[in-house]
Chain A
C-alpha cells in the first residue's frame, strides 16, 4: 500500500508541478487560486477577460491563475490532481462528468456558502440548477447551458429561395432537397443540404426527441433496445437515404459548412465564434427542428466546482470567484455560450447576440445526458452503434442490441 501511494504520489507531483502549495498561495497577502478549464478555443479568450477583470477588482486580496488544458487530456489531469494532490482550487466539469466526480466525494459542497452569500440560485436555469445537486447537496454552480442548434448558410438559403429555417422534419427534408445540388452530375452532390457533424450530440438529440436515451430512467440498464430508440435511428438514416446528407464525416462535415459546401448542420452554440471568423460565410442560427414527437434538444453545461478539501479562506475566495463568473457571464456569452443565469439571458446585451439568443430559446427543454456515475463507462458504446448504423456497416436492430449488451455488461461488471 505504501509503495502504491509512493508511486502514484510521484505521478501526481509531476502533474501538479506548476501548482503552488497552500502556504505559497498566501505568501504575498493575496490568496492565489488556480483555475483549470479546457477552454482552448475562442471561449478561452473571453474567460481570460473575466479572470483579468476579477483580478483587477480584487487586487491584493485574491489572484486567480487560469490554466487552459485542452479537453483531450483535461480530465486525466484533474482526476490525478484530485486523487493524489495538486488539484486546482476552482475547476470546470462538464455536466455529464459531474456525477462521476461527485459520487467519489471529491467535490466541495456549496450549500452554506449559497445561504451565507444569498446567492440568487433561483436565477439559474432550473435544469442546470437541478443537475448541480448530488445526494441533495449543491456541489457545483452551472456557468452556462450550451445547447445544440441549427446553423444554416444564409447565401445558400437565399439562392434556393428559402426564407426561414425549417422547424419540422417535413420542412427540413423539403429545404434540404432544395439545397442539395449535384453540379457536375456525377451522381454525388457537390453541395449537401445537411450533414451530421458531431455524431454523439446529433444522435442523442434525435434519441431524446423520440423519447429514448442511452440509459433507462432508473439508470440501471441500456435504453437503446427500445422501439423509440430504433425509430430515432431510422429517422436519422432516412435523412441520409433521402439523398440530402452524406454518411457521417465528422470534422470534414463541419469544414464543409464553413466552406459553403453544406447548407445546414446541428452543432453546439460554442461553435459560433469560430464561424464568425470564417471569411465570406454568412450564417444564422435557429432552434433544432422537430424531428421526433417530443420537444427536446441535447445540451451540455460547464459546472464550476472546487475540491472537497480546502482551507476555509481559500474556499471563500474560490466561492467569490465562482459568484463573479456567474454574475458576469454576459462576457462568457460573447465567447459562444448561453449563460445559465436567466437575468443575463433576458438582458438586452445578450438578446443582441443573434445566434446565442436563438439557441437560448431552447433552454427550457434541453435534455442532459443521463445523470449516471457510470456514464463515462458506457457513452462510447452508443457512439459506435450510431456510427455503424449511419455508415450502413450494421443494421439498426443489431447495432443497438450490441450496444445494449455492452452497456448492460459494463453496468453489471464495473
Chain B
C-alpha cells in the first residue's frame, strides 16, 4: 500500500521533476562544465582549462568593481525599498475608502516588464526633456553622471518593486491578532507602542523574508543597467550580471562568463544562507 502511495506521489511529481531537471539542473551542471573550458562560440576547439577562468575572474579588477557596484545597488535599494513597502502596507491597512484602488495602483508597476519600466524612466530622467528636471527645476544628468547614475537606477527599481513586498507586508499586518491591539488600546497604549510591542513582532518574520528576497533579487540586477546605462558612465553601473552578460554575449567568452556566473551564485548562496540562519534564529525567538 505504502509502495503504491510512493509510486503515485512520484508520478505526480514526475512532470515537474522532468522540467526541473531539463531546465534547471541540466543547465546548472552544463554551465559549470563550460566554466572549465576556454570557449569562444565560433572557436573550432574548446580547450579544458580547469579552474583558470575562476582564478582569472578573482584577479580581474573589473569583476571586483562589478561586485562593489552591485553591493552599492543592494545597499541603496534594499533598506529604502523595504521601508517604502512597509509604509505603503501600513497605510493600506487602515480603514478608509478606496484602499483597493490604492493597492492596485501601488502594485501596478510590479506587473510591468523591466524593459517597459526602463523606457518609461528614461524619459523621466532625460536631462534635456525629462519631467524630473522640469519639476525639480534642476539640470542634473541623472543617467549621464557617474555620481547620479546608480542612485537613479535604484530609485527606479524601488518604484518598480515596492508593490510586491507591500503585499507580503500587508498580508502579515492583516494576520496581527486584533484582540491584542484592542486590549492594548483599552490599557491606553499609544499607536507607536502598539506598533513596537505587538505589530512589529508579528510582522517581523514576513519583513525579514522580504529583506532576504530583496537582497537576492538586487544582487542579480541586470535589466536596469543594461537598458538605461549599459554599465556606464565610466563603469559606474557595471553590475555583476551585466559584466557576465558582456563576457558571454558581447565578447563570446562563454567559459569566463560561466565562471563569473558561478562566482556570483556562490556569493548569493552564502549571503542567503547567512540571512536564512539569522532569520530562523529571529523566528525562534518569537
Contacts and interface: CB of A to CB of B under 8 A. Distances in A.
A387 B234 contact: yes
A259 B128 contact: yes
A83 B141 contact: no
Interface string A391-410: 10110000000100010010
A76 B234 CA distance: 24
Contacts of A247: 141, 144-145
Given A377-B253, A413-B56, A104 B146 contact: no
B247 to A, nearest CB: 9
A72 B32 CA distance: 27
Contact of A394 (B61, B234, B253): B234
B249 A380 contact: no
A393 B149 CA distance: 13
B144 A83 contact: no
Given A393-B146, A413-B56, A380 B246 contact: yes
B44 A388 contact: no
Contacts of B42: 79, 82-83, 100-101, 104, 106
B233 A387 contact: yes
Nearest to B65: A384
Contacts of A248: 144, 233
Given A376-B250, A413-B56, A391 B43 contact: no
Nearest to A249: B144
A250 B128 CA distance: 11
Which secondary structure dominates chain B's binding surface? loop
Given A247-B141, A250-B144, A406-B62, A393 B128 contact: no
Interface residues of A, number: 41
Nearest to A79: B41
B152 interface: no
B30 A3 contact: yes
Contacts of A158: none
A335 interface: no
Nearest to B60: A409
Interface string B223-248: 00000000111111000000000100
A252 B235 contact: no
B113 interface: no
A256 B44 CA distance: 47
B177 to A, nearest CB: 52
Nearest to B29: A3
A256 B128 contact: yes
A80 interface: yes
Contacts of B250: 376, 380
A105 B43 CA distance: 9
Contacts of B235: 384, 387-388
Given A249-B144, A252-B128, A376-B250, A391 B44 contact: no
A7 interface: yes
A402 B235 CA distance: 12
A414 B253 CA distance: 8
A383 interface: yes
A388 B234 contact: yes
A309 interface: no
A385 B145 CA distance: 14
A413 B255 CA distance: 13
A16 to B, nearest CB: 14
B96 to A, nearest CB: 42
A376 B62 CA distance: 16
Contacts of A79: 41-42, 252
Contacts of A249: 127-128, 141, 144
A255 B146 contact: no
A106 B252 CA distance: 15
A261 interface: yes
A188 interface: yes
B41 A83 contact: yes
Contacts of B43: 104
A146 B40 CA distance: 29
A7 B141 contact: no
B41 A80 contact: yes
Given A259-B129, A387-B233, A388-B234, A252 B141 contact: yes
B139 interface: yes
Contact of A391 (B40, B145, B231, B252): B145
Interface of A: 3-4, 7, 76, 79-80, 82-83, 100-101, 104-106, 188, 246-252, 255-256, 259, 261, 376-377, 380, 383-385, 387-388, 391, 393-394, 402, 406, 409, 413-414
15 contacts: A4-B30, A4-B46, A247-B144, A252-B128, A252-B141, A255-B129, A256-B128, A259-B129, A380-B231, A387-B232, A387-B233, A387-B235, A394-B234, A406-B61, A414-B253
Given A83-B41, A248-B144, A259-B129, 8 more contacts: A4-B33, A83-B42, A250-B233, A376-B252, A377-B253, A380-B246, A385-B234, A406-B61
